[in-house]
Amino acid sequence: MESAAGQDVRGTLPEGLADAIRTTAEDIAELLRGAPGTGGPVPRSTWTVGEAAAHLAQANELMADIAAGHPRSHGDGTPQSLAEANTQALAAFGEREAEPLAAMIVEQAVAYLDAAAERPADETLMTPLGPMTRAVLGSYLLTHMLGHGYDLARALRRPHMVEPARAGLALPFIIEAMPRVTDAKSTAGLTARYAVRLRGGGCFGVTFDDGAVTAGGRLPDRPDCTISIEPTTFLLMALGRCAPAGAMARGRVFAWGRKPWIGPRFPGYFRAP
């Protein structure tokens, strides 16, 4: 795959990530261009379709700038500060029409890919959720688009674009962000080892040691609980778009091990920003 400037990014980003970023942006743009209007509400949100699209356009621009090496501030990484920064940014940006927002979402996704093609993927950058490599930032960009793209699809009553391969590519960001979005009240005093396996590929481990959390791509030795989860369900649950009880009732999540009863508690340890 090549960026808009003609540079090949296949060798600098994880396999499939560049294509997923581009096609997800295009899918969201297609949703917006086919919308009857942008004034309707987004389910489980205070935003309208136009406001959610404007936020996506702004966020894509923010991440493209960061990937290009231009420092940008946007809150301090806590959910409250990010929400406040989003509100301030939207208030200063008046565009709410579908076509210009669709174009901006795609253009800024491509701008990220241009920056990734020109610079090392493993270079550490400062993001709204702390330091990340450019490759993990790409996973962040994809994850963010998938979450709000899902919301827009629901608002417009259209099929969403969250599918297993794209959800798997969100995993590097999810792992990186977990310690930063842990709910301290829920995990106070907790000691437990989780192994999480995405069906079809991908796994990670999360260890709580008296409330302190570490997450990584390696599974812990002798986990207390192993969770097997369908990838799309995993991402939607991680982003707060899917309830654990319903997913388990539909057979999309299974837990086993020495302490299988702690499996359903796992999503409640985190608060999506």
- Report how far residue 97's alpha carbon sits from residue 48's, in angstroms, rounded to the nearest whole number: 11
Contact between 227 and 195 (Cβ < 8 Å): yes
Structural domains of the chain in order of their starting residue, each with its CATH number: 17-161 (1.20.120.450), 177-269 (3.30.1050.10)
Provide the mean pLDDT of the chain: 92
Q: Compute φ and ψ for 258, nearest 5 degrees.
A: -65, -30
Mean pLDDT of 207-235: 95
What percentage of residues in the chain have a pLDDT greater than 90?
A: 79
Give residue 50's pLDDT.
Answer: 98
pLDDT tens by residue, 242-265: 888 888 888 899 999 999 999 999
Give residue 75's pLDDT.
Answer: 84
Give residue 100's pLDDT.
Answer: 98
Give residue 244's pLDDT.
Answer: 83
pLDDT tens by residue, 106-116: 999 999 999 99
Please give, one letter per residue, the 3-state secondary structure of the chain: CECCCCCECCCCCCCCHHHHHHHHHHHHHHHHHCCCCCCCECCCCCCEHHHHHHHHHHHHHHHHHHHCCCCCCCCCCCHHHHHHHHHHHHHCCCCCCHHHHHHHHHHHHHHHHHHHHHCCCCCEEEECCEEEEHHHHHHHHHHHHHHHHHHHHHHHCCCCCCCHHHHHHCHHHHHHHHHHCECHHHHCCCCEEEEEEECCCCEEEEEEECCEEEEECCCCCCCCEEEEECHHHHHHHHCCCCCHHHHHHCCCEEEECCCHHHCCCHHHHECCC
Give residue 6's pLDDT.
Answer: 40
Which pTM value belongs to this model? 0.93
